[in-house]
Amino acid sequence: MRIHIIAGSPNSENINAGIIPAEQPDLIIAADGGAERCRRLGIIPHILIGDLDSISAELTEEYRHAGVEIIRHPCRKDATDLELALDLARARGAQEAVLFGVLGGRWDMSIANVMVAAGKKYQRMRVSLLDTQCRIYIIHGGSTFTLKSVPGQTVSLIPLTADAEGVTTDGFDYPLKESLLPFSTSRGISNKLIKKEGKITVKKGLLLCIENLSLC
């Protein structure tokens, strides 16, 4: 099951249908303020989740009458609306979760969104974060990720939380073979895709693959 989660980052006001993949998801979840973005894009989500402090009461009622499933949480809670949406996606059996409107605006929220998306509890889902300037893919240890893009695309590989071990790449200008990408170094920054597909294998650790759309 493929799920789209649409959140409300202010950096993505110019988000449009062009950054949303053509493949139709099985389920669309609006995370709180993401509901306003859905309305601007002409999208009716299947589920609205969050404390609903970032959307109007009128829109909430509009969605209720449209048959949208509304899951309301209290404002005082221990998880962001995005984490609640990801937990719901996992509970509903998602194999893939694509996140929109989660980058930009407040630095603390953007960093938290990336960290939450990379959580171990979601490692059975393929999680990616899409924005107008970049796409971020989460690669957990013991897996191989295939990036489909255009030759010349700038791609960075950044270890998250610890060293990434046994990193092997194919289709990139700077190849890696069973390599170590140490945490808190810049070795994996600004590689180049030289084929239409690039493969990245990680044996141990956690890796962010960042495709920089503004540098293609």
Q: What is the CA radius of gyration of the chain?
A: 18
CATH architecture of 140-215: 3-Layer(aba) Sandwich (3.40)
What angle, 0 to 180 degrees and rounded to 10, lies between the N-to-C axes of helices 81-91 and 107-117? 20
**Helix extents (H) in 55-106:** 57-65, 81-91
pLDDT, residue 95, reads 96
- Establish whether domains 2-132 and 140-215 are of one fold: yes
- CA neighbor of 17 nearest in space, from 83, 100, 74: 100
Q: What is the pLDDT of residues 18-65, one digit of tens each?
A: 455 556 899 999 999 999 999 988 899 999 999 998 889 999 999 999
**For 1-15, how does the pLDDT look when each residue is reduced to its tens digit (9 = 90+)?**
999 999 987 655 455
Pairing status of strand 96-100 against strand 69-72: unpaired
Phi-psi region of 38 (alpha: psi -120 to 50; beta: other; left: phi over 0): alpha
Give the per-residue pLDDT at 18: 47
E strand spans, 173-214: 179-181, 191-192, 197-202, 206-212
Reading the block at residue 209, the tokens are 């693959």
- The gap between the terminal CA atoms of the chain, to the nearest Å, is 30
How much is the pLDDT for 12? Answer: 53
- The whole-chain average pLDDT of the chain stands at 91
Enter the CATH code of domain 2-132: 3.40.50.10240
Query: Backbone phi, then psi, for 12, in 5-degree steps?
Result: -110, 30
Which of these, 14, 7, 172, 24, lies nearest to 209 by C-alpha position?
172
Residue located via tokens 């969605």: 63
Q: For the segment 136-166, what is each residue's pLDDT rounded down to a tens digit?
A: 999 999 999 999 999 999 999 999 989 999 9
| Residue 158 burial by Cβ neighbours in a 10 Å radius (0-12, 13-18, 19+) | buried
DSSP 204: B
Q: For the segment 158-195, what is each residue's pLDDT rounded down to a tens digit?
A: 999 899 999 999 999 999 999 999 999 999 999 999 99
Residue 30's DSSP bridge partners are 6, 48
Domain boundaries, the chain: 2-132, 140-215
Q: pLDDT (tens digit, 9 = 90+) per residue, 55-105?
A: 899 999 999 999 999 999 998 989 999 999 999 999 999 999 999 999 988
